[in-house]
């Protein structure tokens, strides 16, 4: 199989990421993922699993956790979504003993050849299963999840860190048993699918805590959400560790280069941790990751304090308050709902108080546009709206944009490239260009700016 064939094959499955409005609860059939894994001799049983669900920060928690485990000497499978440049970035194996691919955003991504090899193994199983079972079309996410789990077996990873796609209870990643479950902060999202209130959404996401789970880490949550997660944990005889309670965190300092913080878990103290990811919410994500890896010690994993410090400091997770250009200062942040935009505003006002911000904004059709704009209007002095080259991207009329930003000068552009040109014209000498609202917009902007840097 050649790479073009592999792409064509994957594209033959339904891709809900192109239009989440088409997703219904009955779109998810977790049993068929379990069936496929069983037909492939349950690859996930060859390694331990850390499973992460939540509304915001779950990708960061996964990345930090995997980075720590790599520094501890383990071979680590990492499965996250969405991607920045290429869908192959969603599947990685972090292993200090393996040569890196230097031309990739992440040097440890699944290669085109490796994807073809795995698909050659799983395709006959998938085809036979689809012929013999009366099932709806499989989704790309279901197939790619199976590909990731098989690939991790081929690479003989010690442990895999899996990020849920949407929800938790019926997500394809929940077809496997996890040793450790981590619940990232939960907020309103995908309400037409997961429920119209935070507790209903939390119940969906907390369902990754199930038979086989031995430890639960809970990031910062609203009190009623925390109580719901605790109840679910105790039903499985687990006493969870919660950030802000058993896992204490103290911010020491932060600037545009790094932040320093302390984490204390019961009697264990991790002082003056340095991290390049910015924003106090990232320190909270790191605290949850520390809780996850520390819990592994109870199951025979040797993880040194030095590995925790190094793993956090070396973690690279682009598009999350990433200062990607200095003159003018350009900040990329994939904040795409009200809660994440609120955290972005807090980080901007803390690290860059008083700065004039030109906001390059784009969002997907399924997002709460009013809530996103309500938050970002707190820091924007001018707004340039744009549209990513993605099927889910939303358009907006000039009068609607003005209604969202009544006190700011605002513009509508047809694509990200033109938005960047206009933003550079409008930014003041010591001002900032902030690109936010959609990871799709952020990824396009990052690619355009990155190519510009290559020719400077």
Q: CA–CA distance from 282 to each of 235, 279, 289, 343 (Å)?
A: 30, 5, 10, 10
Q: Delimit the CATH 3.40.1190.10 region(s) of the chain.
A: 3-314
* pLDDT score at 210: 96
Q: 190 pLDDT band (50/70/90 cuts)?
A: low
Q: What CATH number has the domain spanning 3-314?
A: 3.40.1190.10
Q: CA–CA distance from 375 to each of 121, 262, 344, 346, 439 (Å)?
A: 47, 29, 9, 10, 17
Lowest mean pLDDT among 276-285, 351-360, 392-401: 392-401
Residue-wise pLDDT for 311-333, tens only, equals 999 999 999 999 999 899 999 99
Asked if residue 340 has pLDDT above 60, the reply is yes
- Report the distance separating Cα 160 and Cα 152, nearest Å: 7
- The CATH superfamily label for domain 322-454 reads Mur ligase, C-terminal domain (3.90.190.20)
* pLDDT score at 99: 67
What single DSSP character describes residue 394? P
Q: Which two tokens stand for residue 402?
A: 């003005």
* pLDDT score at 23: 60
Q: 131 pLDDT band (50/70/90 cuts)?
A: confident
* pLDDT score at 451: 87
Burial 198-209 (b: 16+ CB within 10 A, else e): beebbbbbbbbb
Asked if residue 449 has pLDDT above 50, the reply is yes
Read off the pLDDT of each residue in 424-430 and give the average, rounded to a whole number: 95
Asked if residue 305 has pLDDT above 90, the reply is yes
Read off the pLDDT of each residue in 58-85 and give the average, rounded to a whole number: 97
Q: Delimit the CATH 3.90.190.20 region(s) of the chain.
A: 322-454
Asked if residue 26 has pLDDT above 60, the reply is no
Q: Token pair 């592994």 is at which residue?
A: 296
Asked if residue 359 has pLDDT above 60, the reply is yes
* pLDDT score at 104: 77
Q: Which two tokens stand for residue 259?
A: 């932040």
Read off the pLDDT of each residue in 276-300 and give the average, rounded to a whole number: 96
What is the average pLDDT score of the chain? 93
Q: 245 pLDDT band (50/70/90 cuts)?
A: very high
Which 3-state string (H, E, C) describes 104-117?
A: CCCCCECCHHHHHH
Read off the pLDDT of each residue in 96-110 and give the average, rounded to a whole number: 80
* pLDDT score at 24: 58
Give the burial class of 396: count Cβ atoms within 10 A of its Cβ; 0-12 exposed, 13-18 middle, 19 or more buried. Answer: buried
Read off the pLDDT of each residue in 16-25 and give the average, rounded to a whole number: 66
Q: How many CA atoms lie within 13 A of 175 on its CB side?
A: 25
Asked if residue 310 has pLDDT above 90, the reply is yes
Q: 364 pLDDT band (50/70/90 cuts)?
A: confident
Q: 456 pLDDT band (50/70/90 cuts)?
A: very low
What single DSSP character describes residue 25? G
- Report the distance separating Cα 39 and Cα 353, nearest Å: 56
Residue-wise pLDDT for 152-184, tens only, equals 999 999 999 999 998 888 899 999 999 999 999
- Report the distance separating Cα 336 and Cα 368, nearest Å: 9
* pLDDT score at 136: 73
Phi-psi region of 41 (alpha: psi -120 to 50; beta: other; left: phi over 0): left
- Report the distance separating Cα 43 and Cα 93, nearest Å: 15
Read off the pLDDT of each residue in 381-397 and give the average, rounded to a whole number: 94
């Amino acid at each position: 199989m050649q790479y073009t064939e592999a792409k064509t094959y994957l594209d033959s499955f339904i891709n809900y990421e192109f239009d989440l409005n088409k997703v219904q609860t009955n779109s998810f059939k977790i049993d068929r993922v379990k069936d496929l894994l069983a037909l492939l001799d349950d690859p996930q049983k060859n390694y331990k699993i850390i499973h992460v669900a939540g509304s915001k920060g779950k990708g960061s928690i996964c990345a930090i956790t995997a980075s720590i485990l790599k520094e501890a000497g383990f071979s680590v499978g990492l499965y996250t979504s969405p991607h920045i440049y290429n869908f192959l970035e969603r599947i990685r194996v972090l292993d200090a003993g393996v040569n890196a691919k230097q031309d990739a955003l992440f040097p440890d991504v699944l290669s085109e050849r490796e994807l073809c090899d795995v698909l050659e193994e799983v395709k006959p199983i998938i085809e036979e299963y689809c012929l013999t079972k009366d099932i709806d079309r499989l989704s790309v996410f279901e197939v790619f999840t199976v590909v990731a789990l098989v690939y991790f077996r081929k690479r003989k990873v010690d442990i895999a860190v899996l990020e849920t796609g949407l929800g938790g209870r019926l997500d394809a990643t929940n077809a496997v048993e996890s040793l450790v479950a981590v619940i990232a902060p939960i907020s309103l999202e995908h309400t037409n699918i997961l429920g119209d209130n935070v507790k209903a959404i939390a119940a969906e996401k907390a369902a990754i805590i199930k038979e086989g789970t031995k430890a639960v880490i809970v990031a910062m949550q609203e009190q009623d959400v925390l109580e719901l997660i605790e109840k679910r944990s105790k039903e499985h005889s687990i006493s969870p560790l919660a950030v802000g309670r058993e896992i204490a965190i103290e911010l020491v300092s932060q600037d545009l280069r790094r932040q320093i913080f302390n984490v204390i878990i019961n009697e264990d103290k991790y002082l003056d941790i340095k991290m390049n990811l910015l924003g106090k919410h990232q320190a909270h994500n790191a605290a949850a990751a520390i809780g996850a890896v520390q819990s592994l010690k109870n199951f025979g994993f040797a993880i040194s304090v030095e590995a925790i410090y190094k793993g956090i400091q070396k973690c690279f997770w682009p598009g999350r308050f990433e200062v990607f250009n200095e003159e003018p200062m350009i900040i990329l942040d994939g904040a795409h709902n009200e809660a994440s935009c609120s955290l972005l505003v807090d980080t901007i006002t803390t690290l860059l108080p008083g700065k004039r911000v030109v906001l390059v904004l784009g969002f997907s059709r399924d997002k709460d546009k009013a809530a996103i704009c309500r938050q970002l209007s707190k820091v924007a002095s001018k707004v340039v709206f744009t549209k990513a080259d993605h099927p889910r991207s939303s358009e907006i009329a000039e009068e609607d944009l003005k209604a969202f930003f009544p006190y700011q000068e605002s513009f509508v552009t047809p694509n990200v490239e033109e938005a960047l040109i206009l933003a550079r014209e409008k930014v003041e000498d010591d001002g900032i260009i902030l690109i936010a609202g959609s990871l799709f917009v952020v990824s396009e902007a990052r690619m355009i700016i990155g190519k510009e840097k290559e020719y400077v």
